[in-house]
Amino acid sequence: MAERPVCDVRIASKGPRFFRTEDGVMFEIQIDSRSRIGPRPMISADKHQYPAAWQAFTRGEPAEPLRPRVEFVDLPEAKAAHDREAAERQRQRDAKRGGGQ
């Protein structure tokens, strides 16, 4: 049986990047996993403040896309084993309380 993703978290790499859209050259900077400035139209101060990112853009290197960093996979066999273990623990608790047969 094929594994199927349950959750797919996409995170941009940290740092500045320039990229082109139909609106022109855009700029954004990923500060951490939750904080980002942009995307917004690039201003001339951006290319002077972040020369390495600007040079990468002008050399034609593609802006790094969002890519999966974490992928959770649904494993039915693992779920079934977990359910069996949980049922056994519950049976043992019930037996300690006198409710189990």
Tell me which residue range forms the domain holding 29: 4-73
Q: Report pLDDT digits (tens) over 25-59.
A: 999 988 877 788 889 999 999 989 999 889 989 99
**Structural domains in the chain (count):** 1
In a domain, 81, yes or no: no
Q: Is the pLDDT of residue 24 over 60?
A: yes
Burial of 63: CB neighbours in 10 Å, binned 0-12, 13-18, 19+: middle
In a domain, 20, yes or no: yes
Give pTM, 2 decimals: 0.49
In a domain, 100, yes or no: no
Q: Is the pLDDT of residue 61 over 80?
A: no
Residues 6+ apart with CB under 8 A from 97: none
In a domain, 25, yes or no: yes
In a domain, 21, yes or no: yes
